[in-house]
Amino acid sequence: MRFLNLFRTTAFRLALVYLLLFAASAFALIAFIYWNTAGFMAAQTDETINAEILGLQEQYGQSGLPGLRQIIIERSSGGGSGLYILASSDFTRLAGNLSSWPDVPVADGDWVYFTYDRTSFGETERRSARARHFVLRGGFHLLVGRDVHERREIEGRIESALFWSAVITVGLGLIGGLAMSRNVTRRLDVINRTSRDIMGGDLARRMPLSGADDEFDELSDNLNGMLDQIERLMGGMTEVADNIAHDLRTPLNRLRSRLEVTLMKPATEQEYREALEGAITEADGLIATFNSLLLIARAETGEARENFEPLDLRVVVNDVAELYEPLAEAKRMTLKVAAPRPAEINGDRGLISQALANLIDNAIKYTPEGGAVTVSLKVAGEEAVLEVRDTGLGIPEAERDHVLRRFVRLEASRNEPGSGLGLSMVAAVGRLHDAEFSLGDAKPGLVATLRFKLKD
């Protein structure tokens, strides 16, 4: 059963196709050699026989039967490979080195193969010969031939070599094909088995690498990379669910308690109004949080890439800075923009604007009065470096990496106004645009950097 399965594999079928091609070319080669050697030898023999017959016919014309007979006797005793027999019209032997007319039907001018017995050193041997038959004037028969025993033997050997090489080629090819496909199948089997295990729930399993560093290892490596990415995403999802639970449950709980407590005892209209207004504020906060979470989730999936278009970051920077400039001024802060050169990238204007708005918003929020916020855009090599620098509190180094992760916000900021998801959102927009987002120390203050790839 397993053997039969092997025949059905792609590797075996490929090996078979290759085998057929190989066999065909091998046969063509041998056939060419055969034709060139055996064919050439046969043509040479026939040529010699023809020349001899021509000579003998001439002799007969000149000196008649006695002359011809004399010459045949001479040639027969020469000890060469020539075979001769001269017979009367009723095939009675008159002269020649064959003991009798061979037992083959002949007509004038026919080529024949026949066998004859040759006796040398007291041993009689049956040998093959080729000859041509002629009827002379007066009804005499003449057969002139050559012993082709060696030639026929060589031909036979070539033929059998041809046959056996065919058998060996096919045999070796089949064995090789089976071995090759078994090898390929075994490596694919490992991948398939591991895949089934992973599908079956063993999510931590990975494709084993053979160490051969070949295309199978590359496939396994890529599959492992894919699995890691899926695991990361799944981990992200769990984290998202946990954070959504926390970020939405707490205000929902506040909302519910507020309404419940208000209803516990009779209250004045003013009190009811206040409770309802508080509820609306709470709901607005919830909506804002929800929107942020949704936006981050959507940026993470990368589907927003469909809306990417070429845009000049300088325009985005100037627009967003302009939106926030009065806010900074109201807090007696300066908001400086240093964007001397245009920087074309591919991206989503809305999302980048929102990310930058979050950074500037945060910078203004966490910088004390009289401070400064600087937004700069530099073009460095293939990158557009967007920086928002403030003179505020900064973020402790230990917590910087933490806030960049999906849906994470600093414990300390959970009770600050706003969804507190601003930096997570910037990080998500960064990932969407393949832009590296980092936080650093501006001494004092925070410097947030987004490195976009310039449009090529």
Partner 1 sequence: MRLLIVEDDRDAAAYLVKGLKESGHVVDHARDGVEGLALARAQTYDVAIVDRMLPRLDGLNLVQKMREEGNQVPVLFLSALGEIDDRVKGLKAGGDDYLPKPYAFVELLARVDALVRRRQPEQVQTKLVVGDLELDLLSRSASRGGQAIDLQPREFLLLEYLMRHAGQVVTRTMLLENVWDYHFDPQTNVIDVHISRLRAKIDKGFSDALLHTVRGAGYCLRAVS
Q: Write out the residues near partner 1 by the rule CB under 8 A.
A: 283-284, 287-288, 291, 294-295, 298, 303-304, 306-307, 319, 322-324, 326-327, 329-330, 348, 350, 353-354, 357-358, 361, 364-365, 417-419, 422
CA distance 439 to 397: 9
- Cβ within 8 Å of residue 106, ≥6 positions away: 112, 133, 141, 143
Q: Are 210 and 59 in contact (CB under 8 A)?
A: no
Q: How far is the CB of 290 from partner 1 (least distance, A)?
A: 9
Per-residue exposure over 13-23, b if at least 16 CB sit within 10 Å of its own CB, e if not: eebbeebeeee
DSSP per residue over 63-105, as a string? HHHHHHHHHHHHHHTT-SSEEEEEE-TT--EEEESSSS--SS-
> HSE (CB half, 13 Å, CA atoms) of 30?
18
Q: How far is the CB of 354 from partner 1 (least distance, A)?
A: 5
For the chain, the straight-line distance linking the first and the last C-alpha, in angstroms and rounded, comes to 57
Q: Give the position of tokens 């004038």.
A: 108
Q: How far is the CB of 350 from partner 1 (least distance, A)?
A: 6
Nearer to partner 1 (CB atom), residue 167 or residue 294: 294
Nearer to partner 1 (CB atom), residue 350 or residue 444: 350
Nearer to partner 1 (CB atom), residue 21 or residue 241: 241
Q: Looking at 255-323, which runs of residues are DSSP E strands?
A: 309-312
**Residue 136's closest CA among 82, 95, 80, 97?**
95
Q: How far is the CB of 25 from partner 1 (least distance, A)?
A: 60
Q: How far is the CB of 387 from partner 1 (least distance, A)?
A: 20
Nearer to partner 1 (CB atom), residue 11 or residue 328: 328
Q: Give the position of tokens 């199948």.
A: 185
Q: How far is the CB of 21 from partner 1 (least distance, A)?
A: 54
Q: Are 92 and 112 in contact (CB under 8 A)?
A: no
Q: How far is the CB of 177 from partner 1 (least distance, A)?
A: 53
Nearer to partner 1 (CB atom), residue 36 or residue 307: 307
Nearer to partner 1 (CB atom), residue 99 or residue 291: 291
- Cβ within 8 Å of residue 358, ≥6 positions away: 422, 423, 425, 426
Q: How far is the CB of 273 from partner 1 (least distance, A)?
A: 12
Nearer to partner 1 (CB atom), residue 45 or residue 413: 413
Task: Name residue 46's amino acid.
Answer: D
Q: How far is the CB of 327 from partner 1 (least distance, A)?
A: 5
Nearer to partner 1 (CB atom), residue 358 or residue 391: 358
Q: Is 216 exposed, middle or buried (0-12, 13-18, 19+ CB in 10 A)?
A: middle
**Residue 454's closest CA among 401, 377, 398?**
377
* Secondary structure of residue 178 in the 3-state scheme: helix
Nearer to partner 1 (CB atom), residue 90 or residue 306: 306
